[in-house]
Amino acid sequence: MNVTLTVNGELRSASVPPETTLLVLLREHFMLTGAKTGCDIGDCGACTVIVDGKAVNACLMLAAQADGRTVVTIEGLATREGLHPLQQVFEETGALQCGFCGPGVIMTAKALLDENPSPSTQEIRTALAGNLCRCTGYVKMIDGVHEAAKMLQSTETPALAAPQQR
């Protein structure tokens, strides 16, 4: 079957078998391997992407169900001007160690910040409950989301600055 969807601002199409998940579509047809295949049953959150503004497990959605929708993956966050504040903070503070969970954590955090620009620590913890990390203990991630929230609200953030500043 044919599916057509907007991925990171670009209209993309593919012909896939019906049992193809959104995760397989992204990774194996569009070669966007940022979203990871972890548990593949919706427990670990490594496959998290944003569909029509909501963080979802790409492993639990059929590609057919994403037809016509707008999907944002980790590959869609950085701009010419620089990394997204979440990416920048996570990199600078060592909020990730092995990094496997990172794309999922960052996409979940992005969906949270899009809806709630200054979340409380509890709100961040609740949002990240579906993203398992076996390295870090989560503390630097939670601090990082707070920090990125502050950066997003300031105009100094490179990724958000006006193009003429380049």
Partner 1 sequence: MKPFGYVAAKDSGHAVALLAEYGKGAKVLAGGTDLLADLKNSPHPPPDVMVDISRAADLKGIALTDAGLRIGALTTHTEIVDSPLIADTLPALAEAAVVIGAVQTRNLGTIGGNLMTCVPSMDSGPTLLALDAQVTILGPSGRRTIPLSELFVGPRRTSLGFAELLVEIVIPKKNVGKPSAFQKFGLRKGQALALVNAAAGFWGGDGVFAEPAIALGAVAPTVIRAPKAEAWLAGRPISEEAMAEAGRIAATEAKPITDFRASAEYRLDLIAVLVKRALAGAHARVTPNQKDLAS
Length of the chain: 166
Tokens of 159: 């990724």
Residue with tokens 């012909």: 15
CB 59 within 8 A of CB 42: yes
Smallest separation (angstroms) from partner 1 to the CB of 164: 37
130 binds partner 1 per the rule CB under 8 A = yes
40 binds partner 1 per the rule CB under 8 A = yes
| Start-end of H helices in 12-101 | 22-24, 85-93
127 binds partner 1 per the rule CB under 8 A = yes
Nearest to 71 by CA among 127, 136, 6, 132: 6
Q: Which of 43, 117, 135, 150 binds partner 1 (CB under 8 A)?
A: 43
Q: Which of 29, 33, 37, 62 binds partner 1 (CB under 8 A)?
A: 62
48 binds partner 1 per the rule CB under 8 A = yes
Q: Which of 5, 7, 21, 90 binds partner 1 (CB under 8 A)?
A: 21
Amino acid identity for residue 123 in this structure: E
CB 56 within 8 A of CB 49: yes
Q: Based on CB atoms, which residue is closest to partner 1, 23 or 159?
A: 23
136: phi then psi, degrees, rounded to nearest 5: -90, -30
59 binds partner 1 per the rule CB under 8 A = yes
Q: Count CA atoms within 13 Å of residue 98 on its CB side.
A: 9
Binding-residue total with partner 1 (CB under 8 A) = 29
57 binds partner 1 per the rule CB under 8 A = yes
Interface positions, 77-116, toward partner 1 (CB under 8 A): 108, 111-112
Applying CB under 8 A, the residues found at the interface with partner 1 are 1, 17-19, 21, 40-43, 45, 48, 54-57, 59-62, 64-65, 108, 111-112, 126-127, 129-131
